[in-house]
Amino acid sequence: MTVTDPRLAGPRPGYRVVGTSPAHHDFADKVRGSLLYAADWQLPGTLHGRVVRSPVPSARITGIDVAAARALPGVAAVLTAADVPSNRIVELASGGLGELQVTMPVLAADRVRYAGEPVAVVAAATQQIADEAADLVAVDYEELPGVFDVESARADGAPLVHDVGNTLVTWQIRSGDAAAALAAADVVVEGSYRTQHAEHAYLEPEAGVGWLEGGVVTLRVSTQVVEHAATIAGILRLPHSKVRVIAAYLGGGFGGKEDMTVEPYLALLVWHTRRPVRMIWDRQESLAASTKRHPFLMRYRTGADRDGTITAQQVEILGDAGAYPNLSPRVLFAAAACACGPYRVPNASITSSAVFTNNVPASAFRGFGAMQVTFGYEAQLDLLAERLGLSRTQVRERNFLAKGDLLPTGERVGTCVEVAQTMHRALALLGDPPRPSGPGKLVGRGIGCNRQPYGRTIWFRDRASAWLSLQADGTLLIRCGVTDLGAGQAASLCQIAAEVLGAPLDDISVYIGDSALNPPAGGTFATRQLYMSGNAVLLAARQLRDRMAPVAADLLGTPADELVFADGRVWAGGAGAAAGGPEVSITLAELAAACDRRSVSTAHLATWRAEAGAFDPRTGQGGTFPDYTYGTHAADVEVDPETGQVTVLRYAACHDVGRAINPMRVQGQIQGGAMQGLGYALTEDVAIEDGYVQAALFADYLVPNALDFPDVLVDIVESGEGKGPLGARGIGEPPIGNVAATIAGAIAAATGVRPAELPMTPERIAALLDEKGRTR
Amino acid sequence: MTRRRIALCVNGSERDAWVLPSDTLLDVLHDGLGLAEVRYGCGEGVCGTCTVLLDGEPVSGCLTLAVQAAGREVTTLRGLAGPGGALHPLQDRFLRRGAAQCGFCTPGMVLTSLDLVRRHLARGLGPPSRDDIRYALVGNLCRCTGYTKIIDAVAEYAALAAAGTPPAGTSPARTPPARTPPARTPPARTPPARTPPARTPPAAAP
């Protein structure tokens, strides 16, 4: 069975390139194996780096002895906190709206707060020597009591992870009077939901190469954010202009390369040794010490009228931030802002807190807080349907948001909401319900709807820039600081420019991911790059076309607004062409030459600014995100009640992407997001006991393989109403959010018991069924 | 430890390398011989990223010592390309089907599935089914695609290869036309015993 959608075949009406699925430059390099990732760059005389990490989760450092490590032949540098020019990273992820100010060291000086925290860094002639030297760094730890779960961390007298307190931030969003509305509701359903630490598990571990060039510390790394160059300059006490970050095409990111990974350590080693240095984190090191998805503890109370109309919802969310802030304040904000999902909730009371523990830090991961809550709010909708004797689709349709509705933050929904259409299409893909494969087996169907933001929170006044240049031979250059995680971030920019300027895709080269040579685009995160850089390229292309059009119009003797830019030429078009008259055109090269003769520049820089707004953390009212992507997943599962094993029989996903710039890539995002979500729902768990990550090997962390789950069937709604270029909505993060809720709903439909803790392992399902059997 | 010199045949060329007894084939190919497409993913043989064909059989470069490859034939992804860099038809299917997103798993995916199709055809089994493909790829993890487009690409190539027709060369952007596979006779051997990890395979969809 293939899931090829016949609609992938051609461009959308009114477009030539948008809506097609060409095989771009990046795909071609990848299938050849010729793309050079971060670890593939080789320079003469390169040293190899290794981070020395704390083996304990909470301790005072009473001494560090590096003599033996430094004495090992082949060792070029062993650096500790004392060697870091400015050993303080203060990250205020929410822009200082409400979180504690907490400093994170680059290398721990006197205190470690999680197992895996960097304490020293080594460079040596070979990786083997660097590894040996790292083992020879002798650190004396005096262990301190730690705290390893959010509830303990909030208790009186809990050990403090940081002196300022264990609650990093608390967000409150209030609308109406939730308590009164709950008291007056015909029905109230309640639930507690628990989610786990999860690992990004990009196939490419954290890696990079750094060198000194013309006095500039240059790092070519696997990162989602080249703008970290400024932070690195701060650590080295260098002017911003003296650090350059180049992002190689990534071997996956998913948010895990949104924070810095190897960058500060590479930069320190390059700066101290004045030599090229390569650093690759082992997979096992990455598992133990890289950031994770936040485990959430969520409590929901939902009140509704007898007809299923939701009147009120109370939500309390605790997220385990781990030992340092990273992006936790923003993750928990997104959780609060999206806690009610794609539903109208007139009376809402939402509280979310990020809590410090001595676990490995949690930070960005595809879905970014807005995905964990889906497991909560969709369960509540199912419970409501059950209580009221309505179908799951009925209760959802009664409450779906519509354009113009108020969100709990007091904002109005600014674009159309086609979530009902996605629900019906996803269910249509599944077809008739399957029969059990044998006696005793139970089958059930689940659905999960979601609302996932795209774009940064609007108080950041986000912007992105792009530079386009029509070359003398009629080919086109695009420069844009976007990083490419594998989703075609660069390729879609080419399609947009080709659409506007008529340059064939083969004639376009795109240069990305360089903090020094590209106009800044912001990082690739928050599903923001098609929205931001896509709009920037669209703006730049339109402005460049508008500047060159009078020259072409003059040459062709036609009004500028009748010109058609297509197929590498500018056509007189308009009435003459429509009447079947002789087609008159010039090539883009001829246009470039004519522009040059008339001193009209064929290069153009444009900056696109997202809408701005403000959020008031005291009232919980104000602007949050620019817009949202809505979608629905549906699944049929079979449960073996003997073993608790859940088999996913069929899986379907449908999202409104506004406009599909490249439908094949949209499908790929949805299929990949759903698969990552299936792992999250059923198999993946970074178990941490007393601060120690239990998965020591990659083999212990169950990333879905090709046998685990069926093909993900995809349908795409194109409402044309997104705020991205040409009406597009972002699709990077949205498709991971629905999955756990969809599978939980299917298990509940099959067995009559609802899992409320992730992942939904056979052990947990069997235990739930046992419990049900005992209470019967 | 002392290094010793080994000779091996990489993508049809004789190559020498000075290796430590502890050096993996992955280290030597990636860093020593500059074959960047053989990449470290986990070091445990779990992810399949560093897969190469050793005498025609897929192995994990991270679990194979370089000295074990002495005197043997190694094929990496770039070894599949035809004259002038023309894509192998299986690469061509990956390209057109969008089977590579970040591309990091792609070398291992292509080489493992090529081995599967060759084995099936050499034994007269016809093209592998989608389930056969899933089973063969169980040791190659992909975190981006959800596998569907990879399986689409392999299934299409297998059908074309089984029919003996060169895949239609509707040339994509800046890619030379698809070519017939170079005549590579799979070595006569028993198929490798590839044990899938101990996870319960899903029941076939009704």
CB of B150 within 8 Å of any CB in chain A?
yes
Residue A123 bridge partners (DSSP): A49, A77
pLDDT bin (cut points 50, 70, 90) of residue B204 is very low
A320: closest CA of chain B, how far (Å) = 25
Query: Measuring CA to CA, which residue among A425, A333, A502 is closest to residue A714?
Result: A425
The Cα of B114 is separated from the nearest Cα of chain A by a number of Å equal to: 13
Q: Could you tell me how far CA A767 lies from the centroid of its own chain? A: 33
Domain C-terminal end among A609, A644, A665? A609
Whether residues A216 and A267 fall in one domain: yes
Quick one: pLDDT at residue A98? 86
Is the residue at A710 inside a domain?
yes
Q: In this structure, are residues A633 and A655 in contact, taking their beta carbons and an 8 Å threshold?
A: no
Asked which of A280, A308, A341 is the last residue of a domain, the reply is A280
Residue of chain A with shortest Cα separation from B88:
A32
For residues A486 and A442, state if they share a domain. Answer: no
Within 8 A of A703 by CB-CB distance, chain B residues are 141, 143
Q: Tell the residue number behind the tokens 């674009």, with chain if given.
A: A415
Residues B86, B177: contact at Cβ < 8 Å? yes
Across the interface, whether the CB atoms of A23 and B149 are under 8 A apart is answered: no
Is A672 in CB contact (< 8 Å) with chain B? yes
Residue type, A288: A
* pLDDT band with cut points at 50, 70 and 90 for residue B53: very high
- A755 and A671 within one domain: yes
pLDDT tens for B72-124 read: 999 999 999 988 889 999 999 999 999 999 999 999 999 999 999 999 999 99
DSSP state, residue A524: S
Token pair in block for residue A328: 């936790």
The model carries a pTM of: 0.94
A644-664 confidence digits (pLDDT tens): 999 999 999 999 999 999 999
Query: Contact, A205 vs A286, CB < 8 A?
Result: yes
A282 touching B (Cβ < 8 Å): yes
Cα dist from A533 to A358, A470, B177, whole Å:
38, 19, 33
Looking at the structure, tell me whether residues A273 and A359 fall in a common domain: no
Q: Which two tokens stand for residue A150?
A: 């959010």
Judgement on whether residues A352 and A438 belong to the same structural domain of the protein: yes
Q: What is the pLDDT of residue A581?
A: 56
Same domain? A78 vs A97:
yes
For residue A755, give how far its alpha carbon lies from the nearest alpha carbon of chain B (Å). 20
Residues from chain A that touch B30, judged by Cβ atoms under 8 A, are: 40
CA distance A145 to A164: 17
Contact between A171 and A98 under an 8 Å Cβ cutoff? The reply is yes
CB-based contact B130 A487, cutoff 8 Å: no
Q: What is the DSSP string of A719-731?
A: -S--SSGGG----
State the Cα–Cα distance between residues B103 and B150, nearest whole angstrom: 11
Residue tagged 């071609």 (tokens): A28
Q: What are the φ/ψ torsions at residue A625 (nearest 5 degrees)?
A: -115, 155
CB A304 within 8 A of CB A390: no
Instruction: Indicate whether A249 and A107 sit together in one domain.
Output: yes
Paired tokens of A27: 């795909």
Other Cβ atoms within 10 Å of A621 Cβ, number? 17
Nearest chain B residue to A649 by CA: give it: B205
Residue A660 near chain B (CB below 8 Å): no
Q: Is residue A162 included in any domain, yes or no?
A: no
- Tell me if A24 is assigned to some domain: no
- Give the full edge-to-edge strand order of the sheet including A442-454: A442-454, A627-640, A645-656, A712-717
Cβ(A78)–Cβ(A122) under 8 Å?
yes
Cα–Cα distances in angstroms (integers) from residue A456 to residues A235, A365, A459, A734, in the given order? 26, 14, 8, 14
Q: Which residues of B touch A505 (CB under 8 A)?
A: 173
Nearest C-alpha of chain A: how many angstroms from B7?
23
For residues A370 and A492, state if they share a domain: no
Is the C-alpha dihedral spanning A320, A326, A329, A333 positive or negative?
A: negative
In the numeric block, which tokens belong to residue A588?
């883009």
Number of domains in chain A: 3
- Kindly state whether residues A625 and A603 are assigned to the same domain: no
Cα–Cα dist A671/A706, whole Å: 13
Q: Residues A48, A124: contact at Cβ < 8 Å?
A: yes
The reply to whether ipTM tops 0.85 is yes
- List CB contacts (< 8 A) between B101 and chain A: 486-488, 668, 672
Closest-CA residue to A217 (of A242, A248, A246): A242
| Residue numbers in B near A34 (CB within 8 A) | 36-37, 78
**DSSP state for residue B137 in the 8-state scheme:** G
Check whether residue A587 and residue A624 sit in a common domain.
Answer: no
The pairing of beta strand A118-124 with beta strand A47-53 = antiparallel
Of B95, B143, B205, the CB nearest to A650: B205
- Please, where are the H alpha helices in A137-184? 150-154, 178-184
Cα B157–chain centre separation: 14
**Cα atoms in the Cβ-side hemisphere of radius 13 Å centred on A468:** 32
Distance (Å) of CA A468 to CA A70, A497, A540, B67: 50, 9, 7, 51
3-state DSSP of A219-248? EEECCCCHHHHHHHHHHHCCCHHHEEEEEC
SS3 content of chain A, % helix, strand, coil (to 5): 30, 25, 40
In percent, the amount of chain B with pLDDT more than 90 equals 76
Relative to beta strand A645-656, strand A712-717 is: parallel
Distances (CA, A) of B139 to A416, A561, B78, B198: 43, 57, 21, 12
CB contact under 8 A, A36 and B36: yes
Which residue carries 């008031």 as its tokens?
A: A616
Interface contact B203-A647, CB threshold 8 A: yes
- Given CB atoms, is A394 within the 8 Å cutoff of chain B? no
Q: How many angstroms from the chain centroid is the CA of residue A238?
A: 30
Chain centroid to Cα A564, Å, comes to 37
Specify whether the CB–CB gap between A339 and A350 falls below 8 A. Answer: yes
Q: Best interface-test mutation with A: which of B101, B156, B170 has the largest number of A CBs within 10 A?
A: B101
CATH topology for the B7-78 domain: Ubiquitin-like (UB roll) (3.10.20)
Task: Identify the domain containing residue A573 by its residue range.
Answer: 463-609
Clarify whether residues A123 and A242 are in a common domain: yes
Q: How far apart are CA A86 and CA A96, in angstroms?
A: 21
Find where tokens 């006696």 sit.
A439
A663 in helix, strand or coil? helix
CATH at A447: 3.30.365.10
Task: Provide the angle, in degrees to the nearest 10, between the axes of the packed helices B148-163 and B89-97.
Answer: 140
Residue to mutate among B30, B80, B113, B148, with most A CBs inside 10 A, is B148
Burial B52-78 (b: 16+ CB within 10 A, else e): bbbebbbbbbbebbbbebeebbbbbbb
Contact residues for A214 (Cβ-Cβ < 8 A; gap 6+): none
Domain boundary residue, one of A236, A251, A280: A280
| Cβ–Cβ < 8 Å for B81, A734 | no
Give A28's contacts in chain B (Cβ within 8 Å).
Answer: 95, 172-175
Whole-number pLDDT of residue B199: 42
**Residues whose CB falls within 8 Å of the CB of residue A600, separated by 6 or more in sequence, listed in order:** A547, A548, A551
Residue closest to A514 by CA, chosen among A212, A247, A207: A247
Length of chain A equals 776
Domain assignments of chain B as residue spans, ordered by start:
7-78, 81-163
Say how far apart CA A701 and CA A680 lie, in whole Å: 11
Q: Does B115 touch chain A (CB under 8 A)?
A: no
Q: Is residue A25, in this structure, part of any structural domain at all?
A: no
Which is more confident, B192 or A391? A391
The strand pairing partners of A354, in sequence order, are A169, A319
The pair of structure tokens assigned to A497 is: 């420019």
Q: How many CA atoms lie within 13 A of A318 on its CB side?
A: 18
How big is the CA angle at A93 (ends A88 and A96), to the nearest 5 degrees? 90
**pLDDT tens for each residue of B174-190:** 333 333 333 333 333 33
Amino acid at site A108: A
Give the distance, in angstroms, between the CA of residue A201 and the centroid of all CA atoms in the same chain: 13
CATH of the domain at A224: 3.90.1170.50
Given a cut of 50, the residues of chain A with pLDDT beneath it are 1-7
For residue B44, pLDDT over 60 is answered with: yes
Name the residue among B92, B98, B147 with its Cβ closest to that of A706.
B147
* CATH level 2 (architecture), domain B81-163: Orthogonal Bundle (1.10)
CA dihedral in degrees (A136, A138, A143, A149; nearest 10)? -40
- Looking at the structure, tell me whether residues A523 and A639 fall in a common domain: no
Does A122 fall in a domain? yes
Give the single-character DSSP code of B205.
Answer: P
Cβ atoms of residues B106 and A33 within 8 Å: yes
